[in-house]
Amino acid sequence: MNHGADAWEALNADIIACRMCPRLVAWREEVARTKRRAYRDLPYWGRPVPGFGDRQARLLVLGLAPAAHGANRTGRMFSGDSAGRTLIPALYRAGFANQPHSEGPGDGLELCNAFLTAVCRCAPPGNRPTPQELRNCRRFWTEEVRLLGRLRVVVALGQIAFQEYLRWCREQGVVTGRQGFGHGVVLCPGRGLPILIGCYHPSRQNTNTGRLTPEMLDEVFSMAKHLLEEMDQC
Give the class (CATH, top level) of 5-233.
alpha beta
Quick check: 176 pLDDT over 80? no
Quick check: 215 pLDDT over 70? yes
Alpha-carbon distance of 120 to 150, in angstroms, equals 23
Average pLDDT over residues 200-206: 96
pLDDT-based confidence at 185, cuts 50/70/90? very high
The reported pLDDT for the residue numbered 179 is 80
Q: At what angle do helices 131-147 and 5-17 cross, to 10 degrees?
A: 170
Quick check: 219 pLDDT over 70? yes
Q: CB under 8 Å to 218, separation ≥6 — which residues? A: 90, 93, 94
Please state which of the ranges 7-21, 43-57, 141-155, 180-194 shows the lowest mean pLDDT: 180-194
Please count the CA atoms within 13 angstroms of the CA of 119 that sit on its side-chain side: 27
Quick check: 3 pLDDT over 70? no
Residue 153: beta bridge partners?
59, 195
The reported pLDDT for the residue numbered 190 is 83
In the chain, the amino acid numbered 59 is L
pLDDT-based confidence at 2, cuts 50/70/90? very low
Average pLDDT over residues 105-117: 97
Quick check: 47 pLDDT over 70? yes
Quick check: 142 pLDDT over 90? yes
Quick check: 31 pLDDT over 90? yes
pLDDT averaged over every residue in the chain? 95
Cα 79 to Cα 111, 150, 216, 226, 229: the distances in Å are: 13, 25, 21, 26, 28
The reported pLDDT for the residue numbered 193 is 93
Q: CB under 8 Å to 152, separation ≥6 — which residues? A: 58, 59, 194, 195, 227, 228, 231
Q: CB under 8 Å to 225, separation ≥6 — which residues? A: 94, 95, 96
The reported pLDDT for the residue numbered 1 is 45
